[in-house]
């Protein structure tokens, strides 16, 4: 990736939308708990259909909307004890959860946001089935505010409290299935202004806001409890919405890749103009090429054809090579087209000429397709979809629309983040969401009492926290300052809260800031370590089972997969007593008695080396030296 890009010069503007689950006792509009069900939770199922009104599209993928309009069945799993009639849309919502409101207000105050006087709950129409009501309940709690960053102040636009959606667990042609446990867990949504100017600043701001929320002690932790959406634009590009960045560390990557994508799309536009491609040349003239593909040995093709599907193709004149242009790492312009085919047609993807020969489709067949489509293999391109006629038509016409837009520039899209930081097309950006007042929930007046209670949850400022790290945790100023900026700060605070009685915060900070970084520089994947793994190792130090010097060794052994689990790694380095050590030294001396006899007092180095290789990290080296000395003296006195 080109690290030399001057983002400020490109006019990069990024806005964040952060969603964080709140750790309340009850859900936002009912008295169910906010914990997810597990695989042993008994479930019952209910089947529903949603009515979609003409103009309400909102945040739904086009293919999903199409299926719902055609009467796609929505199945809800009701995990016993994790959802009630409210989630099932069989009972009106209860009043808005005050605990969730208080936490939201506390966070809003820390962001210098202005709390509204009366809170009104709205219904935001969402018809993908992720909410049995067909809408999400959401309320603006505060407006305005800011967060300071070294590259400048970033404004806050709105702070909302809303209900989380149901969890999708299965999907096929005729139905989609959701589990209702997550539905209704309170979320805070913080939207910043597009004041962020660099990829790194975006991560810093997200980190700061994330930390601020964590410091209330009232937000959920773990996978899926926080989700970042990004709005990214550059001067000559377009504002793109990117949904679902689950890892903070991915934010800069997502931004860099998006900028790269926009620049590449602008390159493609210029190249197409140079080639003299006109919009009216790009037509959706669909040809059935099933018979040509049938003669290939492609497993992929035959698997589809066996389902009764057929292969449909369109030609793209003067597009040779364009579909193969890489717009993001491992994602070509053809991949973008594939996203469109999937999103609009519900097909599994496309095959395009720039990637062929591949999938067992050999050169001869490619030539036949070119010939059949009356295209020039040196100049033109084609796109193939294998599906039923109706889906193929929708998929290919979406592809054609997208290809036409390549002449104009960058389409306004809502994209989804992939785990590697690249993004995929989800749907066109919706217009302003349709909002109805939630008439079943009374407004809440924000009074002095509520504000006072919220004040108690207000998180510390970074300055206050820094002071506390030095004065109460006993960290030195340098380490505390470093920690404040580190993404591992929340983990540090959790570990101090849980293990603070047992071990010094200094050791926890050293483990996170020094030992982990060291392991990373050795090329180990420290991302695979969970907070629980680290906690277990530190706990073992606290319990006196291992020496603190053994921490990096234990973690290294675990990361190198020398052991099954972290428990085993700890056992490898469990401390031994002086008496056990003496027995071990005697055994080694005995095994090497010839050498020891021969070397006399010079045998110390030999024995010390052998013993240390077995007990390093399990007992203090000084003690080992003493014991080796003693045993050798013992041996020599007996020997002589």
Q: Give the binding site for other proteins (CB under 8 A).
A: 46-54, 56, 71, 85, 88-92, 114, 116-120, 122-125, 127, 132-135, 138-140, 143-144, 158, 160, 432-437, 439, 442-443, 445
DSSP string, 6-60: -HHHHT-EEEEEEEEEB--SB-SSSS-BSSPP-TTS-EEEEEE-----TT---S-
Q: For other proteins, which is the closer residue by CB, 132 or 459?
A: 132
Closest distance between other proteins and the C-beta of residue 116, in Å?
A: 5
CB of 221 to other proteins, least distance (A): 29
Closest approach of other proteins to the CB of residue 443, in Å: 6
CA distance 386 to 404: 22
Residue 242: CB minimum distance to other proteins, A? 19
**Closer of 80 and 379 to other proteins (Cβ):** 80
Which lies closer to other proteins via its Cβ, residue 121 or residue 538? 121
Cis-peptide, bond into residue 39, ω within 30° of zero:
no
Task: Give the residue with the Cβ less far from other proteins, 155 or 377.
Answer: 155
Distance of closest approach, residue 146 Cβ to other proteins, in angstroms: 12
Q: Residue 114 or residue 477: which is nearer to other proteins going by CB?
A: 114
Query: Please, what is the minimum distance in Å from the beta carbon of residue 258 to other proteins?
Result: 24
Question: Which tokens sit at 319?
Answer: 């597009």
Spatial neighbors of 269 by CB under 8 A, at least 6 apart, are 406, 407, 408, 409
Q: Which two tokens stand for residue 269?
A: 């536009």
* Whether the Cβ atoms of residue 402 and residue 337 lie closer than 8 Å to each other: yes
Count CB neighbours of 290 within 10 A: 16
Contacting residues for 592 by C-beta, under 8 A, at least 6 apart: 603, 606, 607, 610
Query: Which of 21/133 has CB closer to other proteins?
Result: 133
Instruction: Report the nearest approach of other proteins to the CB of residue 32 (Å).
Output: 16
Sole residue written with tokens 């962001």: 111
Give yes or no for a contact between 226 and 19, defined as CB atoms under 8 angstroms apart.
yes
Query: Cα–Cα distances in Å, from 58 out to 128, 398, 428, 571?
Result: 10, 19, 10, 55
* Phi (first) and psi of residue 135, to 5 degrees: -150, 160
Cross-strand pairs, 331: 328
- Give the CA count within 13 Å in the CB-facing half-sphere of 172: 2
Nearer Cβ to other proteins (54/274): 54
* Phi/psi-derived region of residue 145, left when phi > 0, alpha when psi is between -120 and 50, beta in every other case: left
Residue 387 Cβ, how far from other proteins at the closest point, in Å? 24
Parallel/antiparallel/unpaired status of strands 135-143 and 114-115: antiparallel
Residue 442 beta carbon to other proteins: minimum distance, rounded to whole angstroms = 4
Q: Which is nearer to other proteins, 71 or 276 (CB)?
A: 71
Map 49-91 to HEC letters.
Answer: CCCCCCCCCCCCCHHHHHHHHCCCEEEEEEECCCCCCCCCCCC
* Residue reference for tokens 């097309």: 425
3 state DSSP class of 638: helix
Give 113 or 198: the residue with its C-beta nearer to other proteins.
113
- Per DSSP, the three-state class of 487 is coil
Contact 240, 415 (CB under 8 A): yes
Choice between 68 and 268, CB closer to other proteins = 68
Of residues 152 and 442, the one with the C-beta less far from other proteins = 442
Smallest distance from other proteins to CB 24, Å: 22
CB 121 to other proteins: min, Å: 9
Q: How far is the CB of 435 from other proteins (least distance, A)?
A: 3
- Under a CB-based contact definition with an 8 Å cutoff, are residues 345 and 385 in contact? yes
Nearer to other proteins, 129 or 617 (CB): 129
Please give the structure tokens belonging to residue 89: 């849309």
Nearer CB in complex with other proteins: 48/278: 48
Instruction: State residue 222 phi and psi, 5-degree precision.
Output: 105, 175
Q: How far is the CB of 450 from other proteins (least distance, A)?
A: 13
Residue 182 CA neighbour count, 13 Å, CB half: 18
Q: How far is the CB of 167 from other proteins (least distance, A)?
A: 18
Residue closer to other proteins (CB basis): 154 or 559: 154
Residue 408: CB minimum distance to other proteins, A:
27
**Mapped to the 3 state alphabet, what secondary structure does 92-158 carry?**
CCCCCCHHHHHHHHHHHHHCCCEECCEECCEEEECCCCCCCCCEEEEEEEEECCEECCCCCCEEEEE
Q: Which CB, 192 or 423, lies closer to other proteins?
A: 192
Where does 368-506 show beta strands of DSSP type E? 381-387, 413-417, 423-428, 435-437, 444-445
């Amino acid at each position: 990736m080109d690290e030399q890009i001057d983002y400020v010069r490109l006019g990069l503007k990024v806005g964040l939308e952060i969603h964080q689950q709140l750790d309340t006792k009850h859900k936002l509009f009912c008295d169910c708990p906010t914990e997810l069900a597990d695989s042993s939770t008994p479930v019952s199922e209910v089947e529903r259909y949603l009515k979609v009104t003409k103009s309400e599209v909102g945040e739904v993928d086009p293919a999903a909307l199409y299926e719902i309009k055609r009467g796609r069945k929505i199945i809800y799993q009701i995990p016993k004890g994790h959802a009630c009639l409210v989630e099932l849309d069989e009972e009106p919502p209860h009043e808005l959860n005050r605990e969730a409101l208080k936490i939201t207000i506390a966070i809003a105050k820390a962001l210098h946001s202005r709390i509204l006087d009366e809170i009104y709950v709205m219904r935001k129409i969402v018809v993908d089935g992720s909410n049995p009501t067909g809408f999400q309940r959401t309320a603006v709690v505060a407006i305005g505010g800011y967060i300071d960053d070294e590259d400048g102040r970033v404004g806050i636009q709105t702070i909302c409290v809303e209900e989380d959606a149901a969890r999708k667990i299965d999907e096929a042609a005729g139905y989609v299935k959701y589990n209702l446990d997550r539905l209704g867990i309170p979320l805070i949504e913080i939207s910043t202004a597009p004041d962020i100017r660099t990829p790194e600043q975006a991560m810093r701001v997200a980190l700061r806001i994330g930390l601020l929320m964590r410091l209330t002690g009232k937000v959920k932790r773990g996978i899926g409890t926080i989700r970042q959406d990004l709005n990214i634009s550059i001067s000559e590009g377009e504002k793109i919405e990117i949904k679902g960045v689950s890892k903070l560390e991915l934010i800069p990557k997502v931004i860099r890749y998006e900028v790269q994508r926009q620049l590449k799309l602008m390159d493609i536009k210029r190249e197409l103009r140079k080639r003299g491609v006109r919009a009216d040349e790009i037509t959706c003239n669909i040809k059935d090429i099933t018979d040509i593909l049938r003669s290939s040995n492609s497993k992929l093709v035959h698997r589809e054809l066996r389902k009764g599907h057929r292969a449909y193709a369109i030609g793209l004149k003067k597009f040779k090579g364009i579909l193969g242009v890489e717009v993001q790492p491992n994602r070509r312009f053809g991949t973008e087209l594939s996203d469109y085919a999937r999103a609009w047609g519900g097909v599994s993807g496309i095959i395009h000429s720039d990637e062929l020969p591949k999938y067992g489709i050999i050169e001869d067949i490619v030539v036949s397709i070119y010939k059949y489509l009356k295209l020039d293999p040196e100049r033109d391109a084609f796109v193939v979809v294998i599906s039923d006629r109706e889906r193929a038509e929708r998929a290919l016409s979406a592809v054609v629309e997208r290809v036409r837009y390549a002449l104009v520039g960058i389409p306004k899209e809502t994209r989804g983040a992939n785990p590697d930081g690249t993004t995929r097309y989800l749907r066109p950006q919706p217009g302003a969401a349709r909002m109805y007042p939630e008439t079943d929930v009374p407004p809440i007046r924000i009074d002095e009492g509520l504000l006072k209670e919220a004040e108690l949850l207000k998180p510390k400022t970074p300055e206050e926290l820094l002071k506390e790290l030095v004065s109460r945790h006993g960290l030195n100023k340098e380490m505390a300052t470093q920690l404040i900026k580190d993404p591992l700060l929340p983990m540090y605070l959790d570990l101090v809260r849980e293990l603070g009685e047992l071990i010094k915060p200094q050791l926890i900070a050293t483990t996170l800031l020094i030992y982990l970084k060291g392991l990373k520089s050795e090329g180990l994947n420290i991302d695979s370590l969970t907070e629980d793994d680290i906690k277990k190792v530190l706990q073992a130090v606290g319990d006196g089972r291992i020496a603190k010097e053994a921490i990096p060794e234990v973690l290294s052994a675990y990361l190198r997969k020398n052991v099954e689990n972290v428990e085993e790694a700890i056992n490898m380095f469990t401390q031994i007593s002086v008496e056990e050590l003496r027995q071990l030294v005697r055994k080694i001396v005995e095994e090497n008695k010839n050498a020891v006899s021969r070397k006399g007092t010079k045998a110390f180095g030999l024995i010390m080396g052998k013993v240390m290789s077995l007990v390093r990290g399990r007992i203090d080296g000084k003690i080992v030296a003493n014991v080796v000395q003693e045993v050798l003296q013992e041996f020599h006195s007996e020997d002589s």
